[in-house]
């Protein structure tokens, strides 16, 4: 790693950013907090902040690296990847967010597993335990994947050793997450979310200016890709086109309430006024960022041939280093780290609450005062974070595999549970249990089977879970008095 005036500027800006998010954690750690504050913000967070937090948490490094890289290789047809995600986001904010915060108030719960357990009390213990274990376990590998992403990103951009970069950033994420809980995570998300918007405004503009100055034709460049890059459907037709559209659109299913790190943002909303504000902020944020991400991928394919960048997922960092002066590049790099860190901290919070609130407190019935509950939660966070670091450094390929199907294993599985619980009165406790178990195993089996090459597990798991949930709920019905009142 060589030090130049340009790299020093970038390092300084990254350091300032890391100190800011760490300072937010220190600030909230000095406040007197109850468990309701630590786990869900205690109804003290403005709607726009929750919207920023939900958006930053949902997108993570995938939007900066994975989605942009996919569009860089696919061309115009990459729009369908973003379309499925966008529709899912709109659906969740328009149809689910209000229900989440109403149900949270009604049943006085802090977590998704606890909500399911309270709704189906006859089978509540097993539902809470299964949900907490699966969410916690998958989230642990999500954390490891994000930590690994920070190390790789820092190395690819600045040459910082992967191990050192991973440990330093991970330690800061663990610190601010444990110190201030939900409050510090959400407010750091707000800062990170703003940086993400800034990045997807600046980079497309810089790329377009470079295209104009180089007198390049966007349409001609896309046509020269030779893979249908200049066509919205990629030159595909028939069943192949249908499979492509379904696979890309399948991201929609994971946004239907089943991601605990996202649904808690809905649960934390104070009232309908704040919900309306949050909804419009989230939609506007998504429009700006998604248009920016699409343009970055397209402009990247115009500026750089596919053999210019060996790893397509690094096209945005490559463009940053090539097109922007160091002081702006440092801000954009901080934005990429923001995307990764926001998801890592939110997933860490899922593990913390799953273990301390859902398993130790509610399932095992261990009673403790407010101070002890927070102490146990923070210890859980530290241990989980350390495990995440170890896994990320020792088992990179394994982490990549787990993260690949975790969207189906958590998001699609629990999205089905959420939709059935919210909108179908005949849903039973046995139906919920069967759905959770089916989702866990079907995500693994589908991902490893030849079916994955035809239709993604992100779609397959959702429909398998939906059928199982309906069938088992009809076969093993609950008495109405045994079920929490459903709307």
Residue 439 inside a domain? The answer is: no
Model confidence at 160: pLDDT above 80: no
Residue 131 inside a domain? The answer is: yes
Residue 440 inside a domain? The answer is: no
For residues 367 and 97, what is the distance between their CA atoms, to the nearest angstrom? Answer: 31
Residue 355 inside a domain? The answer is: yes
Rg (alpha carbons) of the chain, rounded to whole number: 22
Task: Provide the H-helix boundaries in 250-325.
Answer: 260-267, 272-303, 315-323
Percent of the chain with pLDDT over 90: 36
Residue 60 inside a domain? The answer is: yes
Number of domains in the chain: 1
pTM for the full model? 0.88
Mean pLDDT across 236-256: 84
Residue 198 inside a domain? The answer is: yes
Q: DSSP characters for 418-466?
A: HHHHHH-TT--HHHHHHHHHHHHHHHHHHHHSGGGGTS-HHHHHHHHHH
CATH of the domain at 386: 1.20.1730.10
Identify the residue with better confidence: 68 or 161: 68
Band of the pLDDT at 405, cuts 50, 70, 90? low
Query: Is residue 306 within 8 Å of residue 312, measured between CB atoms?
Result: yes
User: For residue 114, which of 126, 100, 128, 104 has the smallest C-alpha distance?
Assistant: 128
Residue 483 inside a domain? The answer is: no
Two tokens, residue 372:
């002890």
Band of the pLDDT at 483, cuts 50, 70, 90? low
**pLDDT confidence of residue 424:** 93
Residue 84 inside a domain? The answer is: yes
Q: Domain span at residue 251?
A: 5-396
For residues 456 and 443, what is the distance between their CA atoms, to the nearest angstrom? Answer: 10
**pLDDT confidence of residue 402:** 55
Band of the pLDDT at 52, cuts 50, 70, 90? very high
Two tokens, residue 251:
């991201």
Residue range 373-400, pLDDT digits in tens: 888 888 989 999 999 888 888 765 544 4
Residue range 123-155, pLDDT digits in tens: 999 999 999 988 888 888 788 878 877 877 777
Residue range 72-95, pLDDT digits in tens: 988 999 999 899 899 999 999 999
**pLDDT confidence of residue 396:** 56
- Give the contacts of 348 (CB within 8 A, at least 6 positions apart): 139, 143, 173, 174, 177, 381, 384, 385, 388
């Amino acid at each position: 790693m060589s030090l130049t005036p340009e790299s020093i500027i970038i390092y300084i800006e990254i350091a300032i950013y890391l100190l800011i998010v760490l300072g937010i954690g220190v600030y909230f750690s000095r406040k007197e907090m109850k468990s309701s504050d630590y786990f869900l913000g205690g109804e003290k967070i403005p709607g726009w902040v929750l919207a920023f937090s939900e958006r930053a948490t949902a997108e993570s490094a995938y939007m900066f690296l994975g989605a942009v890289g996919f569009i860089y290789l696919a061309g115009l047809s990459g729009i369908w990847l973003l379309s499925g995600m966008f529709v899912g986001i709109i659906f969740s904010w328009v149809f689910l967010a209000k229900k989440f915060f109403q149900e949270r108030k009604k049943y006085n719960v802090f977590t998704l597993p606890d909500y399911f357990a309270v709704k189906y009390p006859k089978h509540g213990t097993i539902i809470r335990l299964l949900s907490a274990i699966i969410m916690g376990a998958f989230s642990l590998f999500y954390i490891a994947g994000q930590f690994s992403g920070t190390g790789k990103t820092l190395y690819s951009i600045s040459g910082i050793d992967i191990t050192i970069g991973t440990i330093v950033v991970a330690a800061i994420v663990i610190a601010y997450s444990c110190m201030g809980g939900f409050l510090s995570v959400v407010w750091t998300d707000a800062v990170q979310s703003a940086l993400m918007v800034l990045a997807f405004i600046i980079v497309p503009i810089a790329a377009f200016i470079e295209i104009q100055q180089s007198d390049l034709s966007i349409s001609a460049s896309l046509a020269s890709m030779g893979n249908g890059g200049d066509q919205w459907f990629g030159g595909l037709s028939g069943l192949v086109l249908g499979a492509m559209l379904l696979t890309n659109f399948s991201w929609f299913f994971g946004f239907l309430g089943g991601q605990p790190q996202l649904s808690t943002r809905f649960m934390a909303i104070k009232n309908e006024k704040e919900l309306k504000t949050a909804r419009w902020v989230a939609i506007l944020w998504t429009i700006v960022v998604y248009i920016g991400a699409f343009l970055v991928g397209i402009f990247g394919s115009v500026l750089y041939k596919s053999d210019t960048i060996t790893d397509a997922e690094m096209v945005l960092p490559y463009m940053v280093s090539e097109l922007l002066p160091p002081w702006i590049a440092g801000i954009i790099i901080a934005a990429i780290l923001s995307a990764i860190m926001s998801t890592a901290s939110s997933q860490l919070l899922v593990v913390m609450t799953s273990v301390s609130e859902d398993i130790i407190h509610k399932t095992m019935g261990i009673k403790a005062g407010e101070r002890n509950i927070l102490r146990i939660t923070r210890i859980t966070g530290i241990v989980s974070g350390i495990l995440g670091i170890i896994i990320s450094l020792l088992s990179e390929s394994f982490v990549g595999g787990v993260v690949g199907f975790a969207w189906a294993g958590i998001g699609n599985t629990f999205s089905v549970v959420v939709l059935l619980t919210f909108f179908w009165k005949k849903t039973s406790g046995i139906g919920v249990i069967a759905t959770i178990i089916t989702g866990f195993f079907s995500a693994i089996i589908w991902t490893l089977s030849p079916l994955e090459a035809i239709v993604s597990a992100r779609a397959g798991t959702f429909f398998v879970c939906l059928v199982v949930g309906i069938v088992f709920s009809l076969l093993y019905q609950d008495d109405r008095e045994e079920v929490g009142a459903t709307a």
